[in-house]
């Protein structure tokens, strides 16, 4: 499969769809290995919930949750990304063998993040973000969401250059659900090519988010919608997708790839 498939492993007691389930370290490691076996090319380990309204946690607590899991997954041969807004956690994760830093704040939450990324030399996912979960709903105002998100990501790239980040290793993410109303998410998905024109690979994280079920399905019942959106994003040329249920999205990505191959096989 040519698209990166990030399997979400939230090691938090309060994540919005799988909170508490994998809080225990050994269960988390087992789940991470299972996701790899189901087809995840990266397991994305996160220790701080970003669901709307979630409270911040101390970086030391975040590391206590995340780092042992990263270390064990890497020892088991699993490629790991770490979902963190903290430079210190990013450095500890790199030390523990992570290959990717996934920062939902795109470097805005911690002024030391870009220097940390530059120091590790790891791949860096910079997501579009306007503020912490406690107040992000109030920040969802745009003239044209795609134009505005593109401009704000472009400004982040300029800051990264100043801090010595290798831009060849930067992946951009529109940040679906983060200071976005449902219509904003659909516009960003429908116009991914405009974000792609910044010249960086894109990651799309739609998994189980509220905009996928206007009729009110529970998070765990949004996996079909997630697989469809992920397949459409793959068809639009994204670098990767980030999902909770790896098996269903893997099937959708394989179909997308077969479809694309059909264009060139005859
Ligand atoms: N969404 C969440 C967490 N981390 N990282 C990236 N790069 N993109 C996202 O869209 C994203 C993310 C929130 O979802 P979760 O709490 O289910 O992990």
Picking from 18-27, 111-120, 232-241, which range would have the lowest pLDDT averaged per residue? 18-27
Q: What is the pLDDT of residue 136?
A: 79
20 falls in which pLDDT band (50, 70, 90)? low
Q: What is the pLDDT of residue 221?
A: 87
**Residues forming a β-bridge with 101:** 82, 124
Pocket of ligand 1 from Cβ distances under 6 Å: 8, 10, 15-17, 46, 50-51, 83, 102, 104, 125, 127, 173, 175-176, 203, 205, 242
Phi, psi angles (nearest 5°) of residue 84: -150, 150
22 falls in which pLDDT band (50, 70, 90)? low
Q: What is the pLDDT of residue 25?
A: 86
Positions annotated as catalytic residues are 209, 242
Segment 99-133, tens digit of pLDDT: 999 999 999 999 999 999 999 999 999 999 999 87
Sign, CA dihedral 54-136-177-34, equals: negative
pTM of the prediction?
0.94
Q: What residues contact 162, with CB distance under 8 A and at least 6 apart?
A: 114
Q: Whose CA is nearest to atom 8 of ligand 1?
A: 205
Alpha carbon of residue 21 to chain centroid: 20
Alpha-carbon distance of 181 to 186, in angstroms, equals 9
| Cα distances (Å, whole numbers) of residue 38 to 5, 28, 242, 251 | 10, 15, 14, 10
Q: Whose CA is nearest to atom 3 of ligand 1?
A: 50
Segment 30-43, tens digit of pLDDT: 999 999 999 999 99
Q: Closest ligand 1 atom to the C-alpha of 127?
A: 7
Q: What residues contact 266, with CB distance under 8 A and at least 6 apart?
A: none
Q: What is the pLDDT of residue 1?
A: 67
Q: Closest ligand 1 atom to the C-alpha of 10?
A: 18
Pocket test for ligand 1, best of 49, 226, 242, 245 (most atoms within 8 A of CB): 242
Task: Go through 79-103 and write b for each residue having 16 or more CB atoms within 10 A of its CB, e for each that does not.
Answer: bbbbbbbbbbbbbbbbebbbbbbbb
* Model confidence at 19: pLDDT above 60: no
Q: Tell how far the Cα of 59 is from the centroid of ligand 1, in angstroms.
A: 18
98, 80 Cβ separation under 8 angstroms: yes
Q: Whose CA is nearest to atom 13 of ligand 1?
A: 50
> Both ends of the chain: CA-CA distance in Å?
20
């Amino acid at each position: 499969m040519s698209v990166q498939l990030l399997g979400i492993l939230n090691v938090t007691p309060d994540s919005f769809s799988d909170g508490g389930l994998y809080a225990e370290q050994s269960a988390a490691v087992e789940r991470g290995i299972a996701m790899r076996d189901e087809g995840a090319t990266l397991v994305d380990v996160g220790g701080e919930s970003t669901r709307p309204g979630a409270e911040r946690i101390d970086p030391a607590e975040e590391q206590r949750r995340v780092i042992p899991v990263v270390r064990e997954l890497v020892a088991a041969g699993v490629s790991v990304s770490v979902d963190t807004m903290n430079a210190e956690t990013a450095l500890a994760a790199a030390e523990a063998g992570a290959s990717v830093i996934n920062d939902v704040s795109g470097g805005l939450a911690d002024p030391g993040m870009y220097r940390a990324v530059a120091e590790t030399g790891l791949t860096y996912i910079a997501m579009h973000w306007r503020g912490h979960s406690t107040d992000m709903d109030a920040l969802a105002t745009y003239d044209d969401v795609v134009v505005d998100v593109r401009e704000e990501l472009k400004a982040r790239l300029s800051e990264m250059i100043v801090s010595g980040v290798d831009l060849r290793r930067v992946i951009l993410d529109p940040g679906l659900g983060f200071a976005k109303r449902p219509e904003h998410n659909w516009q960003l998905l429908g116009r991914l090519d405009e974000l792609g024109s910044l010249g960086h690979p894109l990651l799309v994280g739609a998994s189980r988010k509220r905009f996928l079920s206007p009729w009110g399905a529970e998070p765990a019942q949004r996996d079909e919608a997630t697989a469809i959106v992920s397949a459409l994003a793959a068809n639009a040329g994204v670098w990767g997708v980030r999902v909770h249920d790896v098996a269903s999205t893997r099937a959708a990505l394989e179909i997308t790839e077969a479809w694309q191959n059909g264009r060139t096989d005859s």
